[in-house]
Amino acid sequence: MQPQATSHILMIRPVRFGFNEETAESNAFQDAEIAAKTKDVAQEDALEQFDNMVAHLKAAGVDVMVYEDTEEPHTPDSIFPNNWISFHQSGKIVLYPMQAVNRRLERRMDIIEDLKSNFQVEQIIDLTHFEKEGNYLEGTGSMVLDRRYKIAYACLSPRTNAEVLDAFVEATGYKVVKFNATDAAGKDVYHTNVVMCMGDSFAVVCLQSINDLDERLMVRDELEKTGKQVIEITLEQMNSFAGNMLLVNNKRGEKLLVMSTQAFESLTHKQRDEIDDYAALVHFDLSIIEGNGGGSARCMMAEVHLPEK
């Protein structure tokens, strides 16, 4: 059985971070008011928050591989690499089709080439051709992977297309659990990784966002069938990025659940205690990144599950 978490994390250090107009229509988590107030300091403040997160993860024993973004082309969301690439224990790398044209520029083969010096790459599966048809699947934003049981949970949205999901299944052997999720305003949730977080023996999930009761029951049953304790969060907590967390290991094999301070503070004491049975809770102030980018801690980390050389 494959491990759910890894200690190898890839992160992209931002150079020209800011509010991305191209993604705002489908991402209700982007806050135009925060963006307007922080426009002149967004890059500077995001960089400070990014560097603080990296420093603390490294101090906790996580192997964080940081790559610098480039000035050109301008990629305001490069801080969220999990949307364009995923890495698998089979040695496979998957490249994904993304909705926003300026996000497609984030894909960097130089990073893949650099990783090859320490990790085995058997195959690169390129799904980006779906962009020509207007069909998208934005990596481990669109899918939350149960790597132990090879199940991909996916809420369908303009950025998460069923046809591309089928292509992912064919290429990787995963099973897909598809469902629909909406926020408090009734808008499609843009990415599954704000709805749920996958642990090895637990899952944090906003079942309240799944309006179809049959689908809600299906998701819960699937999680429980694989031995997960289901820790439910509310729509309000989801809106505070309490679903956007990632389980990582450190080099000593200890488990950490990484989240933002906003997410941590939204959790009840009971929820924190439940999670603490499985992993230590680690949190950072990511408010500028969350407000401008509409993504949080999980989005900032691409887990490198490739076999080491």
pLDDT, tens only, 169-216: 999 999 999 999 999 889 899 899 999 999 999 999 999 999 999 999
256-279 average pLDDT score: 98
Q: Can you tell me the distance from the alpha carbon of 135 to that of 247, in angstroms, rounded to the nearest whole number?
A: 29
The pair of three-digit structure tokens given for residue 36, joined into one six-digit string = 């307007």
The pair of three-digit structure tokens given for residue 252, joined into one six-digit string = 């000593």
User: Whose CA is closest to 155, among 203, 128, 193?
Assistant: 193
Residues 8 and 63: beta-carbon distance below 8 Å: yes
Residue 257's beta-bridge partner residues? 247, 281
DSSP assignment letter at 297: T
* pLDDT of res. 1: 82
pLDDT tens per residue across span 16-66:
776 546 554 555 554 556 555 566 677 788 899 999 999 999 999 999 999
Q: Can you tell me the distance from the alpha carbon of 171 to that of 165, in angstroms, rounded to the nearest whole number?
A: 10
Higher pLDDT, 137 or 42: 137
Q: At residue 254, what is the residue type?
A: E
**Within the chain, how many helices (H) and strands (E) appear?**
12, 15
* pLDDT of res. 24: 47
Q: Can you tell me the distance from the alpha carbon of 236 to that of 232, in angstroms, rounded to the nearest whole number?
A: 12
Q: Can you tell me the distance from the alpha carbon of 193 to that of 196, in angstroms, rounded to the nearest whole number?
A: 5
Task: Give the mean pLDDT of the chain.
Answer: 93
Can the peptide bond before residue 73 be classed as cis, meaning omega within 30 degrees of 0?
yes
* pLDDT of res. 75: 85
pLDDT tens per residue across span 210-267:
999 999 999 999 999 999 999 999 999 999 999 999 999 999 999 999 999 999 999 9
CA distances from 133 to 4, 94, 130, 136 (A): 33, 18, 5, 9
* pLDDT of res. 30: 47
Q: Is beta strand 175-179 parallel, antiparallel or unpaired with respect to 151-155?
A: parallel
User: pLDDT class for 165, splitting at 50, 70, 90?
Assistant: very high
Q: Is the pLDDT of residue 122 over 90?
A: yes
Residues 6 and 249: beta-carbon distance below 8 Å: yes
Q: Can you tell me the distance from the alpha carbon of 180 to that of 178, in angstroms, rounded to the nearest whole number?
A: 7
* pLDDT of res. 16: 75
pLDDT tens per residue across span 63-91:
999 999 998 888 888 999 999 999 999 99
User: pLDDT class for 124, splitting at 50, 70, 90?
Assistant: very high
* pLDDT of res. 190: 87
pTM of the model: 0.94
Residues 219 and 204: beta-carbon distance below 8 Å: no
User: Whose CA is closest to 139, among 10, 267, 278?
Assistant: 10
* pLDDT of res. 32: 57
Core vs surface per residue 277-296: b (16+ CB within 10 A) or e: ebbebbbbebbbbbbbbbbb
* pLDDT of res. 31: 55
